Amino acid sequence: MESTESYDFSTPETISEGESIESMESYDFSTPVVSEEEAESGYMNDGTELPDEFIVNRNENTNSLLRSPATTGTEKWTKESTTRKISDGFIAWHPGWSEYQYNISDYYFSNDSISFSVSIGYGYFSISVDKAGSSGQSIKADPKKWTRPGVYGNVDVTKYNVKKYNVAGIYIGSTTKYISKASSTYVKSRNK
């Protein structure tokens, strides 16, 4: 049965002329889309830096039985600033040694790497270093002091303004996110 009713799809009268509702439709879709994992890590999958502005589609990789407004929709991330929090300094202890050692002149590392998570107060980020080993590369230590291998380098924290949109593309709010990442990392012995 066909309906003969006509529907008015014009802008509701409660919105004055010249006023607009912010939605994803008003954005340039040439803005790159990145995965949630890439956004949270601070790097693209190919190892390059994230663009200054990008879209994260939270509708993908979501179990349809568990979907809720909090886990679906789209986010537009805009970079506001990047601050160096650690410059060529101590970041964390190497995960291969849980305590200080005495009478050790060298620490050895294999050619395999291990990744671990670190936080300096702006959320966790991942660092990859060579695994502890019995031979291979080594770093010097003072055998007359208590020492332990530490991971050193730079840590930058990037501040993003994140606008959130529901599955219909309507703006629902914004938040600030901080993404930390390490660079120029290396391992050296640290005295107690």
* Residue 47 in domain: yes
* Residue 17 in domain: no
pLDDT, residue 13, reads 42
Look at residue 29 and tell me whether its pLDDT is greater than 70. no
| Phi, psi of 77, rounded to the nearest 5 degrees | -95, 130
pLDDT, residue 9, reads 42
Per-residue pLDDT band for 98 (boundaries 50, 70, 90) equals: very high
* Residue 66 in domain: yes
14-23: pLDDT as tens digits: 444 554 555 5
Domain count of the fold of the chain? 1
Per-residue pLDDT band for 61 (boundaries 50, 70, 90) equals: low
* Residue 54 in domain: yes
Q: What DSSP state is assigned to residue 71?
A: T
- Mean local confidence (pLDDT), 163-178: 92
Tell me the CA distances in angstroms from 91 to 39, 77, 169, 175, one per residue in order: 22, 27, 40, 27
* Residue 18 in domain: no
Burial of 8 (0-12, 13-18, 19+ CB in 10 A): exposed
Domain that holds residue 130: 24-191
99-143: pLDDT as tens digits: 999 999 999 998 888 999 999 888 899 999 988 887 778 999 999
